[in-house]
Amino acid sequence: MVGLGPRRPPSRKGSMADVPKDLLAQIKHLEEIFTVPKETLDKIVTKFVKELEKGLAKEGSTIGDITDIRQPMNPTWCMGFPTGHETGTFLALDMGGTNLRVCEIHLPEEKGEFDIIQSKYRMPEELKTGTADELWGYIADCLQQFIEYHHEGEKLDKLPLGFTFSYPATQHYIDHGILQRWTKGFDIDGVEGEDVVPPFEKALAERGVPIKLTALINDTTGTLIASAYTDTEMKIGCIFGTGCNAAYMENCGSIPKLAHMNLDPELPIAINCEYGAFDNEHEVLPLTKYDHQIDEESPRPGQQAFEKMIAGLYLGEIFRLVLLDMHDGKHMFEGQSVDKLKKPYNIDASILAAIEEDPFENLSETAELMRVQFDLQCNKPELELVRRLAELIGTRAARLSACGVAAICKKKGYKTAHVGADGSVFNKYPHFKARGAQALREMLDWPEKKNKRDADPVEIMTAEDGSGVGAALIAALTLKRVKEGQLAGIKDAKSMLNF
């Protein structure tokens, strides 16, 4: 796109000079409702720390209790970090929202190294609301295609697979997982409340695909383990993408809900926090009427409250609802059709990112985007509101996202840590990292930096490939435990002995 006019300076204060009073009042109102000050961040983190503790304690319930669909803090049976000396060949499957990725990963003798080959398959939109049989059948077909393509004519023994299933699952064992609830817009009947492994393995068996599921993992656990493979400071794995969540390493002695298993209290175990469900009670999150609307109109109202304010799936939707409201209140787009704005989930977070990246003083790229995407001609003051709105939504997301990381650090007493992060919002949304780091600074009360180039004590950094390398490593760690006779949290150890 060609921009007209001079480049936009970093501060836009002056640009608001020509904005009429009414629109200026609207902008001010949006600033009030979308800005999260330090006091609110602090309140959120205080409750967050309590929730993390409560999730591990979960009085009166056992980990098998899946009647509480909000049950967070899932023990994953990934028991410890890799040493960097893991070896072997593994398959990894990542069932994402837009793609299905299949990888074959080779972990050689050299410390911390890996080779990877991979194929991506489209995840048809219809599958997300189709039947369970269609879902498992499609996934098994993709795995079959992958194996036929990469191992044509070979006689294969069964290959061990790490399956990244990035939805909340209760795991009594690492090679099983009961889906607590669908998130991220998935809505497939007959899967919630069920172990997802048997129907998956059945679909593989029907096709004669030579694979043995060795570990069912969450993307956050994969991110944590993959990043720790090369960085011993790594303490937390996060995803800021279509959904949001984190995993960290706990010791068994700090998990009252596992007490009945009499595990060594010093044993480490990764916990999948599932904190997208944080504050489903709506006690501390600064929800706007738009957030309430998103929740009410979602396939799972009352769930994933935190995620719905910050994850990529929802950022565009928040933006859409505000603009529509502005039009309905006769503040913007007078006399124009807003039909395209009326379509739910019609706006991807990448559009907000592009608006925030418009470098031109006259916001010509934003004007072009609004025209092409929504058939809307915006005047300059309207463009100012559009830009400010994107900034407000993006900044709120980054600041709230940092709360989960701050809470884990506070709970664990980490004064310093590396946090591995992945996901489209973290990797692609402009200023997300800097805004998150600023919020962490406010919440964790760091002293002023002596040198501008000094690293922050808790640093959120780009992660290694969690659903590929991470899944393979967790599969490798599981097989190692089987060989050593450490069988806690492994269901089908017998068939894993053959690898």
Residues annotated as part of the active site: 166, 181, 219
Nearer to ligand BGC, 185 or 457 (CB): 185
Least separation in angstroms between residue 240's CB and ligand BGC is 8
Least separation in angstroms between residue 99's CB and ligand BGC is 13
Contact between 167 and ligand BGC by CB under 6 A: the answer reads yes
Tell me how many residues contact ligand BGC (CB under 6 A): 16
Of these, 183, 227, 401, 467, which contacts ligand BGC (CB under 6 A)?
183
Of these, 101, 184, 331, 433, which contacts ligand BGC (CB under 6 A)?
184
Strands laid side by side in the 417-422 sheet: 74-75, 268-272, 244-251, 234-240, 417-422, 458-462
Q: Give the list of residues 6+ apart from residue 103 with CB closer than 8 angstroms, or none.
A: 91, 92, 93, 94, 116, 117, 118, 468, 471, 472
Kind and range of the H or E run holding 235: strand 234-240
Contact predicate 278/70, CB 8 Å: no
* Max Cα–Cα distance, the chain, nearest Å: 74
Nearer to ligand BGC, 79 or 244 (CB): 244
Of these, 166, 171, 227, 424, which contacts ligand BGC (CB under 6 A)?
166
Nearer to ligand BGC, 245 or 478 (CB): 245
- Residue of this chain nearest to ligand BGC (CB atom): 243
Nearer to ligand BGC, 239 or 341 (CB): 239
Give me the helix-helix angle, 380-412 and 312-328, nearest 10°: 140
Please provide the DSSP assignment of 156-223 as one string.
PPPEEEEEEE-S-EE-SSTT--EE----TT---TTTTTSBSHHHHHHHHHHHT--EEEEEEE-HHHHH
Question: Checking phi first, is residue 281 left (phi over 0); if not, alpha (psi -120 to 50) or beta?
Answer: alpha
Least separation in angstroms between residue 192's CB and ligand BGC is 12
Binding mask 255-294 for ligand BGC (x = CB under 6 A): -------------------x-x------------------
Contact between 199 and ligand BGC by CB under 6 A: the answer reads no
Contact predicate 410/231, CB 8 Å: no
Rounded Cα gap, residues 334 and 5, in angstroms: 26
Q: Give the list of residues 6+ apart from residue 46 with CB closer than 8 angstroms, or none.
A: none
Of these, 51, 104, 219, 291, which contacts ligand BGC (CB under 6 A)?
219
Rounded Cα gap, residues 62 and 40, in angstroms: 33
Contact between 218 and ligand BGC by CB under 6 A: the answer reads yes
Nearer to ligand BGC, 219 or 365 (CB): 219
Which residues, 224 to 253, sit near ligand BGC by CB under 6 A? 239, 241, 243-245
Nearer to ligand BGC, 333 or 426 (CB): 426
Nearer to ligand BGC, 147 or 238 (CB): 238
Of these, 72, 75, 82, 168, which contacts ligand BGC (CB under 6 A)?
168
Strand 244-251 to strand 458-462: parallel, antiparallel, or no bridges (unpaired)? unpaired
Buried b (16+ CB within 10 A) or exposed e, 357-396: ebebbbbbbbbbbbeeebebebeebbbbbbbbbbbbbbbb
Collapsed DSSP state (helix, strand, coil) of residue 88 = strand
Collapsed DSSP state (helix, strand, coil) of residue 431 = coil
Contact between 308 and ligand BGC by CB under 6 A: the answer reads no
Least separation in angstroms between residue 476's CB and ligand BGC is 21
Q: Which stretch binds ligand BGC (CB under 6 A): 20-28, 212-220, 385-393, 486-494?
A: 212-220
Question: Checking phi first, is residue 229 left (phi over 0); if not, alpha (psi -120 to 50) or beta?
Answer: alpha
Contact between 220 and ligand BGC by CB under 6 A: the answer reads yes
Nearer to ligand BGC, 98 or 416 (CB): 98
Can you give the C-alpha Rg of the chain in angstroms? Answer: 24
Least separation in angstroms between residue 370's CB and ligand BGC is 30
DSSP letter at 466 equals: I
- Count CB-CB contacts under 10 A for residue 173: 19
Least separation in angstroms between residue 222's CB and ligand BGC is 9
Q: Which of 18, 21, 24 has the alpha carbon at shortest distance from 361?
A: 18
Where on the chain is the footprint of ligand BGC (CB under 6 A)? Answer: 166-168, 183-184, 218-220, 239, 241, 243-245, 274, 276, 307
